[in-house]
Chains A and B, each alone.
Chain A
Amino acid sequence: MANSEMIGLIVITHGDFGCQLVKAAQLILGEQKEVWALSLHERDGLDTLQGRIAKILKEGSEKSEGKIILVDMFGGTPANASLKFLDEEKVEIISGVNLPMLIAGMNYRQSLPLKELARLIRQKGEESILDVKQKVLNKLTKEKSR
């Protein structure tokens, strides 16, 4: 019952990247409800993928707070397939999905409304890409000079 109030997350990617990404996130946060992963394989066409997305979007949609589609790459088939749902009011679409983005979506989807959650996911994604070597070395230099 609480599930219908939870924002759903649909991860759509080339190959099984999305399935494994969801598994990785659950390793950190524990098992999650209202999360779907759709894999695009060689045999799948645009319309098969769109059919699968439409079916998930319909699940509990009348009570749902909405769903966020997370795709791997803007311009790829998962993203192109999602464009069909551009006009749906309770659907947000974000590209470039990575682990910090998915974790943020899972962590905050019961406390933020749909549009704000989508903004947070995008922000977390942008913040998550770092030059690790530079960041750590900078920190070390700063501590030395203190």
Chain B
Amino acid sequence: MGMVLARIDDRLIHGQVVENWMKSLKVNHVVIVNNLVASDRMQKALFSLAVPEYARVSVLTIEEAKEAILNGQLEKDRAMLLFVSPQDVLNIINMGVKIKEVNVGGMHYSPEKRQILKAISVSEQEIQVFQELDRLGVRLEARMLPDDEKIDMMEAIRREAK
């Protein structure tokens, strides 16, 4: 089956992911892709304890995630890829991993960012990264929960970030 969802959510594994996304997509393997988190023992331990027993968590660097995907190591799983930022998504795509669609779930607000949707705030630089992903043909849909309406991320950027 392989990858059932690729999601950008800077809170990574939290209530919405465990109780809603994992259940509705029957995810049995959560793969966090981020170089910093991959070297943080405390966060790794916490995330691996946060999912139900039938599922497992891997926290990988971008390089490790690329290897795992290209070597087919996720093929037997129903895997959910979790990214902290659009930049990590762009990096792994540039390394040769195919991702057709990305769910943008949560990017928290900070003063240098503009809030474009309830749970999504973006910086100028992140807008450029989204534009690059769009040019590469990646479909970008903004949605907090599985049953929410899919919002076209690029349209939301065009509307709010003029």
> Helix, strand, loop or mixed for chain A's interface?
helix
The range of chain A's interface size is 10 to 19
Which residues of chain A from 118 to 146 have a CB within 8 Å of any chain B CB?
135-136, 139-140, 143
**B19, B42, B45: the one within 8 Å of A103 (CB):** B19
Q: Chain B nearest CB: distance from A32 CB in Å?
A: 11
Contacts A136-B46, A139-B49: A28 and B41 contacting too (C-beta < 8 A)?
Answer: no
Interface size of B by Cβ–Cβ distance < 8 Å? Answer: 14
Q: Chain B nearest CB: distance from A87 CB in Å?
A: 34
> Helix, strand, loop or mixed for chain B's interface?
helix
Chain A residues within an 8 Å CB radius of B45: 136, 139-140, 143
Q: In the docked arrangement, what's the CA distance between A30 and B15, Å?
A: 12
Q: Chain A nearest CB: distance from B135 CB in Å?
A: 32
Kindly supply a per-residue 1/0 record for chain B positions 10-30, scoring 1 wherever the CB is within 8 Å of any chain A CB and 0 otherwise. 000001100110010000000
Known: A30-B20, A30-B148, A136-B42. 4 other contacts (CB 8 A): A27-B16, A29-B145, A136-B45, A140-B41
Which residues of B pack against A, CB within 8 Å? 15-16, 19-20, 23, 41-42, 45-46, 48-49, 145, 147-148
